């Protein structure tokens, strides 16, 4: 019978393959510069359980981090793993060949992993869930709750106007896996649509087809949100949250696939990453 450390290794052996269970941690794609753990670069993967709701990671969530060195992180030095079970994280470290170098949870967690002032024990931004990569997701869930709160300063997002003024209309969209959309902007954005100020929030409903071709009975599946953080630097916060409040993606420009040249980064005219405000027609 395998030891617990061996069993966890067997559970993650296909983490870097294209499968339904494994993918890059949303918002943190590819190999990027990273210095902790004696590395120069990292690449992070998450199983389907973890990706189901990044803001409230469920038991069975597994996060795998490749710790890399060499030019552009070409060399795999070690693999570190976190798995959540009964509300407690197990931490493990392996050599690339699977040799276990550290393993444990709770009071028996490897040295420095969860001490109050070091490493994952120092993650106080999200209620101490010991995970740093989902901090933006927790912020996205709070924003989602505010957008649906009729008592919020700007009211629920469904009371807002759309670009150009007036009520948001159903419109067909070519966005993958989305049939219809409605777009809303908060009063800050409405103040100057051509020069969106800090605090501007843009909300797009993602909807699936109903029986009506105009989308009037389409089903609301998720909200995608853009919140302008810094107009001078053109920094945006991006998020996708399903109607039941599960965060599928969240991050600022540096970690957001939304901001790359294949998507909103391609909205070059006006250089504000927004297509719908007429600056990029």
Say if 274 falls within a structural domain. Answer: no
Kindly indicate the confidence band of residue 269, based on its pLDDT and cuts at 50, 70 and 90: very low
Widest pairwise Cα distance in the chain: 66
Q: Which residue has the higher pLDDT, 262 or 26?
A: 26
109, 130, 151 — which closes off a domain?
130
Same domain for 154 and 47: no
Say if 271 falls within a structural domain. Answer: no
Same domain for 115 and 205: no
Range of 118-122, 162-166, 255-259 with top mean pLDDT: 162-166
Same domain for 148 and 125: no
Q: Which pLDDT score is estimated for 28?
A: 85
Task: Look up the CATH number of the domain holding residue 245.
Answer: 3.50.70
130, 164, 194 — which closes off a domain?
130
Same domain for 168 and 227: yes
Same domain for 123 and 20: yes
Same domain for 145 and 120: no
Same domain for 126 and 142: no
Same domain for 146 and 46: no
Cβ pair 139, 132 in contact under 8 A: no
128: left (phi over 0), alpha (psi -120 to 50) or beta: left
Computed over every residue of the chain, the mean pLDDT equals 86
Which residues, including other chains, have CB under 8 Å from residue 49's CB and lie 6 or more apart?
Answer: 57, 58, 59, 60, 61, 62
* Domain extent at residue 116: 4-130
Same domain for 223 and 167: yes
Same domain for 57 and 29: yes
pTM: 0.84
Say if 84 falls within a structural domain. Answer: yes
- What's the whole-number mean pLDDT along residues 223-245? 92
Say if 277 falls within a structural domain. Answer: no
Say if 273 falls within a structural domain. Answer: no
Same domain for 114 and 11: yes
Say if 109 falls within a structural domain. Answer: yes
The encoded tokens of residue 167 equal 């009520």
Same domain for 180 and 110: no
Distances (CA, A) of 235 to 33, 94, 137, 228, 255: 20, 37, 17, 6, 11
113, 130, 147 — which closes off a domain?
130
Say if 204 falls within a structural domain. Answer: yes
Say if 231 falls within a structural domain. Answer: yes
pLDDT at 19 exceeding the cut of 60: yes
pLDDT at 74 exceeding the cut of 70: yes
Q: Which pLDDT score is estimated for 18?
A: 77
Query: What is the tally of structural domains in the chain?
Result: 2
């Amino acid at each position: 019978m395998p030891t617990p450390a061996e069993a966890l290794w067997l559970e993650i052996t296909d983490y870097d393959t294209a499968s339904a269970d494994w993918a890059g941690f949303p918002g943190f794609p590819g190999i990027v510069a990273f210095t902790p753990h004696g590395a120069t670069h990292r690449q992070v993967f998450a199983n389907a359980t973890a990706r189901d709701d990044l803001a409230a990671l469920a038991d069975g969530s597994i996060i795998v981090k490749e710790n890399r060195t060499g030019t552009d992180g070409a060399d795999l030095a070690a693999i570190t793993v976190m798995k959540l079970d009964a509300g407690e994280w197990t931490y493990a470290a392996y050599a690339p060949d699977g040799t276990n170098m550290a393993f444990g949870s709770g009071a028996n967690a490897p040295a420095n992993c969860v001490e109050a002032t070091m490493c994952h024990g120092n993650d106080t931004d999200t209620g101490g869930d010991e995970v740093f990569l989902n901090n933006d997701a927790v912020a996205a869930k709070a924003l989602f709750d505010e957008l649906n709160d009729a008592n919020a300063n700007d009211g629920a997002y469904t009371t807002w106007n759309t670009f150009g003024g007036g009520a948001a209309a159903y419109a067909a969209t070519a966005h993958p896996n989305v049939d219809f959309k409605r777009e809303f902007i908060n009063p800050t954005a409405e103040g100057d649509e051509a020069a969106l100020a800090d605090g501007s929030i843009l909300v797009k409903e993602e909807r699936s087809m109903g029986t009506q071709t105009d989308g009037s009975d389409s089903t609301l599946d998720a909200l995608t949100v853009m919140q302008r953080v810094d107009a001078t630097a053109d920094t945006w916060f991006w998020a996708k949250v399903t109607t039941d409040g599960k965060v599928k993606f969240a991050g600022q420009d540096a970690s957001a696939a939304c901001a790359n040249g294949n998507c909103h980064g391609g909205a070059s005219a006006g250089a504000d990453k927004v297509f719908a405000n007429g600056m990029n027609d």
